[in-house]
Amino acid sequence: MEQEETIQQEEPKRGAHVLFSLGIYIVAFLFLSLVFSMLVYIVLGFPDTGSFTLNQYVVIQFATLLAAVLPACFILKYFDNRPLSDLGLSVKGRGKDFLYGLLAAIFLYGVGFGLSLALGEVKVVGIHLDATDLAVGFVFYILVAFTEEIMVRGYILGRLLRTRLNKFLSLGISSVIFSLMHFFNPNVAFLPMLNLVLAGCLLGVAFLYTRNLWFPISLHLFWNWLQGPILGYKVSGTSLSSSLLELQLPENNILNGGTFGFEGSIICTALMVFMIGAIVWYFERKNAKFTTEDTEGTEF
């Protein structure tokens, strides 16, 4: 991850203004989600909820992405008087961030899945290669990553960081909101909810220092894609298509995550805590180095 050369230090907005704009955003998102979902249902011919195909899920998720992005852009420009670049989607010089997100996801599942196999908490009982499902699943999780990162990190966390709140408190608030978005997922329980809060922290912690979304978008994308379509876990309690590996869990417990997927496991908890600490250490150390160099270069 690369740190932004400069993060503008501006007079923080009043908390009331920020909370009001966040309220407008959430209401607008819910309204547009309802409108777009109705339109999608009409186009798809009112299918039963349990009978959606993977391609139909892609269409639904695209509509959700629009519901998240459109009000964010409108409120930023006409209410907050902020540039759209505040959403953190600047691509200049961010190629390494996308690569680091991929590597972080590989580390998370390489270690986590490896430990689960070694402990006998999961078994691979089959391999099924369906290139179409893998490709469509990849597109679906791209849309999921953009939707949730623009909404939770780009807009919500970005607005909170312009208040007088401590940056880590802002991260915590946005992470709780992120977890609550998954509250009605199948098989949710205390440990999965805790892990979703930690996942929000992991996805958002680099944004505190870079104000850029390409690392969390990449990590979010490959986190979901590796977990579900590749390894065969459920993704936050849901399964949308066939997977490359067919897994068998000897029993459902906190080591393998049970019916919620790897995100419901204590192995995932430990790995996320480690990765959050490593990212904070990296940027705080880098900030301290810059501060020292600036001080040494100052003449009195």
pLDDT tens string 238-272: 988 889 999 999 999 999 999 999 999 999 999 99
| Residue boundaries of the structural domains of the chain | 90-284
Question: 195, 215, 211, 200: which is closest to 268 by C-alpha?
Answer: 195
Choose between 202 and 1: higher pLDDT.
202
What is the percent of the chain with per-residue pLDDT over 70, rounded to a whole number? 91
pLDDT band, very low/low/confident/very high, at 12 (cuts 50, 70, 90): low
Average pLDDT over residues 127-150: 96
Average pLDDT over residues 41-47: 80
Question: What is the rounded distance in angstroms from the CA atom of residue 15 to the CA atom of residue 37?
Answer: 32
Question: What is the rounded distance in angstroms from the CA atom of residue 63 to the CA atom of residue 39?
Answer: 9
Average pLDDT over residues 214-221: 98
Question: What is the rounded distance in angstroms from the CA atom of residue 205 to the CA atom of residue 276?
Answer: 7
Render 12-79 in DSSP notation, one character per residue: PPPHHHHHHHHHHHHHHHHHHHHHHHHHHHHHHT---GGG--HHHHHHHHHHHHHHHHHHHHHHHHHT
Question: What is the rounded distance in angstroms from the CA atom of residue 70 to the CA atom of residue 112?
Answer: 37
State residue 16's pLDDT score. Answer: 76
Most distant CA atoms of the chain, gap in Å: 74
